[in-house]
Amino acid sequence: MTNLTHLDDEGRARMVDVSAKSPTERAAIARGRLRCLPETLAQVLAGTAPKGSVIRTAELAGIMAAKRTAELIPLCHPLPLSKIAVRIEPDEALPGFQIEAEAKTVGVTGVEMEALTAASVACLTLFDMLKAVDRTMLVEGLQVVAKFGGQSGSWQR
């Protein structure tokens, strides 16, 4: 990569001008994991975690975060999201949780950052709500696994 689009000719940061692009349907899926002790997962599954319904709270936190992505990432365009869904599934083999976030819009730029923001904040919320019972937790594997639409077309990991 020799041409960084977020820098002008003088090396100053800028938001890329996307005004000439036509709106298209766009979507992205991001995933991450939170590893924890088997005992921590068992507590969540039994509904006895000290802070209550950690999975549903983390899913909601991810949705809320996706809507604020442009406020968190300096050069990210604000987008009208048509869908944001966050799903957290317990995984006893990990042990921990698998997190998936899907973002959709009809716009001139992609929603990868919104999906990544949703997945990462969902992971962080799980961590926050469980840190009192497990200091060994690890957030890992945050990545875009698919994107659809736009000039560059579809892509899947």
- Of all residues in the chain, the percent with pLDDT exceeding 70 is 97
Report yes or no on 151 lying in a domain: yes
The answer to whether residues 57 and 125 touch, using CB atoms and an 8 Å cutoff, is yes
Report yes or no on 101 lying in a domain: yes
**pLDDT of 92 above 60:** yes
Domain that holds residue 140: 24-156
- The pLDDT of residue 43 is 97
Q: For the chain, how many residues are written? A: 157
Q: Which residue has the higher pLDDT, 1 or 98?
A: 98
Report yes or no on 2 lying in a domain: no
Q: How do residues 95-112 score in pLDDT, each as one tens digit?
A: 999 999 999 999 999 999
Report yes or no on 30 lying in a domain: yes
CATH number of the domain where residue 146 is located:
3.30.70.640
- The pLDDT of residue 146 is 98
**Could you count the other beta carbons within 10 Å of the beta carbon of residue 29?**
22
Asked if omega into 50 is within 30° of 0 (cis), the reply is: no
Which strands form 155-156's sheet, in the order they lie side by side?
Answer: 81-91, 96-107, 24-35, 138-148, 155-156
Q: How do residues 50-85 score in pLDDT, each as one tens digit?
A: 999 999 999 999 999 999 999 999 999 999 999 999
Catalytic residues: 128
Domain count, the chain: 1
Report yes or no on 9 lying in a domain: no
Distance CA 18, CA 86 (A): 28
Report yes or no on 145 lying in a domain: yes
- The pLDDT of residue 1 is 44
**Could you count the other beta carbons within 10 Å of the beta carbon of residue 9?**
5
